[in-house]
Copies of this chain bind each other. A is one copy, B any other.
Amino acid sequence: VRIGELSRLSGIPAATIKYYLREGLLPPGVSTQPNQAHYADSHLARLRLIRALIDIGGLSINTASKLLAVLDSPELGPWESVGKVQYALSQRHGAIPGPVHDENASRVVDELIARRGWDIRPGSPARRTLTDICATWDRLGHTDMIAALDDYAEAIAAVVAVDIKLITDQSSLAETIETVIVGTVIGDSMISALRQLTQEHVSRAPLEEQRTSQPSASNT
């Protein structure tokens, strides 16, 4: 199809599609005549993915572009691709101005990683994000949150087990990488929504009922 038809099918203005082409988010079409190109179903699928990353995932054009570049690099091995995707995504949180990096927070995160037996690179952006979060909690006086990190890490293991199952079920490398991208970007929004729904359900029960449903030391 021509670009006008691609715009109609996707609901995205032709000027925006041309912008994605210039920025390299969308691969070029096949030139048929000078100043004319034809686009295939794969272009329509790519446009839907771009909009999902930007509209639902809240990514910048720049981050979306880095992710799609990995998807378009079949010469990378599977875990090299997944690693590149994870690093590009961790930098979403790079919006934190003036990171804190207290020594105390670094130690808390290092010890958590050691206790969990995690194999994490020193420069991992997620490690840095978690360090900034711990430093913030420390400053706010929320040491209860820092103390709960192990419980959260344990609970997240079950979430990642579902992630891994989805990823290993893919039949091709391109599908695996797209699943990592979609599962992480949109998956974070999904996890937040499921967490809020569960909290809403629990918060509609009276406070007293919840307090008494906690295991009581006096009953043992």
Q: Chain A: residues with CB nearer than 8 A to chain B?
A: 45, 48-49, 52, 55-56, 58, 78-79, 82-83, 86, 89-90, 93, 95-98, 113, 116-121, 124-127, 129-130, 132-133, 136-137, 139-142, 144-145, 148-149, 151-166, 168-169, 179, 182-184, 186-204, 206-207, 210-211, 214
Contact = CB atoms under 8 A, between A and B. Distances in A.
Given A127-B197, A152-B159, A196-B89, A137 B211 contact: no
Contact of A164 (B56, B121, B168, B210): B210
15 contacts: A78-B207, A79-B206, A86-B203, A119-B200, A126-B193, A127-B193, A129-B189, A133-B190, A145-B166, A151-B162, A155-B158, A155-B162, A156-B195, A163-B195, A164-B199
Contacts of A199: 86, 160, 163-164, 184
Contacts of A83: 200, 203
Contacts of A55: 96-98
A127 B198 CA distance: 11
A197 B52 contact: no
B130 A182 contact: no
Contacts of A206: 79
Contact of A140 (B48, B86, B152, B194): B48
A149 B89 CA distance: 22
Contacts of A49: 140
Contacts of A45: 140-141
Given A113-B197, A152-B162, A184-B196, 7 more contacts: A90-B196, A124-B197, A142-B179, A145-B186, A160-B195, A163-B199, A191-B195
Nearest to A52: B136
Contacts of A153: 194, 198
Given A119-B201, A140-B49, A159 B156 contact: yes
Contacts of A86: 196, 199-200, 203
